[in-house]
Amino acid sequence: METRAVDSAAIASAIAEEGFLVVPDVLSAEFVARARRELEVAIAREAEYHGGAGYKDYGMVLVCSLYGGAFLDVFDHPKLLAPLSAVLGEGHIVYAYTSSSMPPGRTNYSRRIHRDCPRMIPGYCTNMGATVLLDDFTEDNGATYYLPGSHRQAAAPSDEEFTRNARRLVAPAGSVLFFDALLWHAGGDNRTSSWRHALTLNMCRPFMKQRLDLPRIMANMDLSGVSKVALQKLGFLAQVPASYDEYYAPAEKRKYQQTVE
């Protein structure tokens, strides 16, 4: 389903029934350009960590929030958060936050048919994805394949079924694909000479564990200018006590300040 209006009931219905929702014009061209520049720097730094571009996830930044800047400011865009809140509630937090880029003239590990959530509770969405397009997605540059309705399918579809029924995420930069993280999908092949960039936020219910402990990973960053909304989404208000002193601290000093929903 594609929509230009952010209507909570319609969003929740689309995610429940079809497993996805494509919303154009979520982010401005200025923000997209900035995020794209900063992502290319982050990809280069990740490659340095791995000793080159030969690793299977080349082009994927594992923890985008570690690089600050646009990767934190993205949480201050209500049009991005609204569809996630419509399904998961206002208190949703980051489960995983990676880039979903495709290198020029090749593909990467995302090419396999996969889903982004390890758990399945029928009738209950635990995780939602938001793929933020930082480039126009085309069939030539590896636009994502996704199988509508497959979030209700426990077993992976066969290659034949997936190829026959999958759709392509062909959409302009600034658009966002919102999806139930159980939706089966796959990256494409980039047949162009340019990178195809995107970010993917996997959001979960606030009582769940994150894939990586972001508050601990980001402990040495200067977060003084980061909004409370961004900190909440990154899990800083959902930290469990690590000592008696933390548990018995006054309410305003406790690490767990997540609103109960």
> What are the structural domain ranges in the chain?
8-253
pLDDT lower than 70: segments of the chain? 1-6, 260-261
> 79 near 250, Cβ under 8 Å?
no
What is the rounded average pLDDT for all residues in the chain?
93
- The span from the CA of 18 to the CA of 21, in Å, is 8
pLDDT for residue 261: 65
Closest CA relative to residue 236, chosen from 223, 247, 250:
223
Phi-psi region for residue 68, left (φ > 0), alpha (ψ -120 to 50) or beta? left
CATH of 8-253, one of 1.10.3720.10, 2.60.120.620, 3.40.50.880, 2.40.50.140: 2.60.120.620
Could you tell me which residues are beta bridge partners of residue 21? Answer: 178
Q: Which amino acid is at 82?
A: A
Q: Is 29 exposed, middle or buried (0-12, 13-18, 19+ CB in 10 A)?
A: exposed
pLDDT tens digit string along 152-205? 999 999 999 999 999 999 999 999 999 999 999 999 999 999 999 999 999 999
- The span from the CA of 72 to the CA of 65, in Å, is 6
Q: Give pTM, 2 decimals.
A: 0.92
pLDDT for residue 81: 97
> Token pair for residue 240?
């469990």
- The span from the CA of 160 to the CA of 112, in Å, is 13
- The span from the CA of 134 to the CA of 101, in Å, is 9
pLDDT for residue 106: 80
